[in-house]
Structure 1
Amino acid sequence: MTQNQRPKVPRRALDGVLLLDKPVGLSSNDALIRAKRLYLAKKAGHTGTLDPLASGLLPLCFGEATKFSQDLLEADKTYEATMRLGIRTTTGDAEGEAIETRDVTCDQAAVEQRLVQFRGDIVQVPPMYSALKRGGKPLYEYARAGQTVEREGRQVTIHALELIACDLPDVTFRVTCSKGTYVRTLAEDIGEALGCGAHLVMLRRTGVGALTLANSVTLDALSDAAQSERDAWLQPVDALLSTFPSVQLDEEATRRFLHGQRLKLTDLAVDDGVLLAAARTRVYGSKGKLLGVAKAADGVLAPERLIVS
């Protein structure tokens, strides 16, 4: 080591889930890098990007928890958003340039009436300023070059959509939606339905699956905390799996499961119907420790992802 080189800080083999309240202006990857550095973690990943314009819940996975991040990528999301009526932008949000201005002639009753048509299954055309790829390039690269690429509409599900505040031209709403929903596009489409256009000026994610902001922490709070306090903010790995039914194995079944063996449901003290209806379950060993996730099908419990002790 030369005189100017700093000694490497040892990284920790850390397992758990951090419910981060991401600030506006920071990319999801930058937020992940900062949190990983604060925790001195060897391995970390996030569970789906949140735009720099957006704030709110960004679950970060450390160590063995990264094996289950895909489950949150598929989960429903809940947002609070504010759209500004009367102005359309190039990006559908406040980061873009205004391309059209129209008078806002609707009232709150008209807004509430239009929200009804956007509940349930709807079709969205993905925005040009998105990471979806065409010809191996993300759409936003075409958009920045002034090109428009044909996109097919795709079905998404709006489970809930409710008005929070209407201070025209600004409208604030809460939405719970399926994977793949663009809230920017939802705001634009609502604006078009109202006849005046709209763009998104605020977006805050408040829920991912069963996870909420209730137990989240900011990067500033983590930076100011001691390492022991930071560790206290970590949720256990199975926080990602709370919606799955669970089964606890005896000592022999635990040994077999950890060797990747399939177990007959009839040999286990579980409700076969519950497991088969859900298909996937979290599995605990004889000492109550999470072993991993399994699939229940055809009368057997088959290991899917195991946790390394």
Structure 2
Amino acid sequence: YKLAREGREVERASREITIYSIDLLQLEGRDLQIDVHCSKGTYIRTLADDLGNLLGCGAHVKTLRRTQAGVFGESDSVTLEQLEEIRQTSEHDDYSGIDRYLVPMDKAVDNLPEVSLPDVTAGWIKQGQPVLVRHLPADGLVRLYQGEQFIGIGSILDDGRVAPRRMITDQ
């Protein structure tokens, strides 16, 4: 980012992305406003450059606004002004007013299948051991729970076991 801001050409490693949709929202003269639904890792500025080259006219981004990240949309966001208002109106600097904006950690991975582990099995996976669990998806990532407690994300191995990928510890 620093080099690009200095006006230097930066080669980006090519990666596979998915553009689910591009919708034209507004066309005014030579300016257009689009809405892009894309996979993670998509460089929108590069997409604009590629579209401009494809059309033979060049293109660049004037304004970029993220309206969704994973399961979180604009309606889930909080402005700095709202946070400042909470700070100013909180008694004894306890910031309890912010609680209504907090969400459980596992909401960010709500799209992953849920796997509930018995205490013994959860203990093994917390120590880094892959474990055998019944009724797992064939592959991919899963949300791991010990009882009602979210403990992390696991990855399904080729042999059908689930291995810890990112774990949350209370220590």
Instruction: Give per-residue Cα distances to partners, 1:279-302, cap 9 Å, x unaligned.
Output: x2111112x001112222112222
State the Cα distance separating 1:193 from its structure 2 match: 3.9
- Is residue 2:98 matched to residue 1:230? yes
Structure 1: stretches of 5+ with no match in the other structure = 1-130, 132-137
State the Cα distance separating 1:231 from its structure 2 match: 2.3
Question: Which residue of structure 2 lines up, in the alignment, with residue 277 of structure 1?
Answer: 139
State the Cα distance separating 1:192 from its structure 2 match: 4.2
Question: Which residue of structure 1 lines up, in the alignment, with residue 22 of structure 2?
Answer: 161
Among 150, 165, 168, the alignment partner of 1:304 is 165
Question: Which residue of structure 2 lines up, in the alignment, with residue 32 of structure 1?
Answer: none
Counterpart Cα distance in 2 of 1:153 and 1:306:
29
State the Cα distance separating 1:184 from its structure 2 match: 2.4
Instruction: Give per-residue Cα distances to partners, 1:255-284, cap 9 Å, x unaligned.
Output: 33333333212xx4xx23x2x322x21111
Name the % identity: 34
Question: Which residue of structure 1 lines up, in the alignment, with residue 152 of structure 2?
Answer: 292
Counterpart Cα distance in 1 of 2:145 and 2:117:
6
Amino acid at match of 1:178: S
Alignment check: 8 A CA contact 1:241 1:282 kept: yes
Alignment check: 8 A CA contact 2:152 2:165 kept: yes
- Equivalent residues in 2 for 1:76-91 (5 A)? none
State the Cα distance separating 1:228 from its structure 2 match: 1.3
Against the structure 1 CA distance between its residues 257 and 202, is the aligned structure 2 distance closer, same or farther, given a 3 Å change threshold?
same
Counterpart Cα distance in 1 of 2:12 and 2:82:
43
Question: Which residue of structure 2 lines up, in the alignment, with residue 24 of structure 1?
Answer: none
Question: Which residue of structure 2 lines up, in the alignment, with residue 240 of structure 1?
Answer: 108
Against the structure 1 CA distance between its residues 305 and 223, is the aligned structure 2 distance closer, same or farther, given a 3 Å change threshold?
same
- Is residue 2:122 matched to residue 1:258? no
Counterpart Cα distance in 2 of 1:166 and 1:198:
14
TM-score by length of 2: 0.78
SS in 1 for 2:122: helix
Amino acid at match of 1:289: Q
Counterpart Cα distance in 1 of 2:27 and 2:107:
36
TM-score by length of 1: 0.46
Q: Which of the two has greater strand per residue?
A: 1
Aligned length: 161
Against the structure 1 CA distance between its residues 169 and 257, is the aligned structure 2 distance closer, same or farther, given a 3 Å change threshold?
same
- Equivalent residues in 2 for 1:104-119 (5 A)? none
Structure having greater relative contact order (Cα 8 Å, sep ≥ 6): 1
Against the structure 1 CA distance between its residues 142 and 214, is the aligned structure 2 distance closer, same or farther, given a 3 Å change threshold?
closer
State the Cα distance separating 1:244 from its structure 2 match: 1.3
Counterpart Cα distance in 2 of 1:258 and 1:153:
34
Against the structure 1 CA distance between its residues 141 and 171, is the aligned structure 2 distance closer, same or farther, given a 3 Å change threshold?
closer
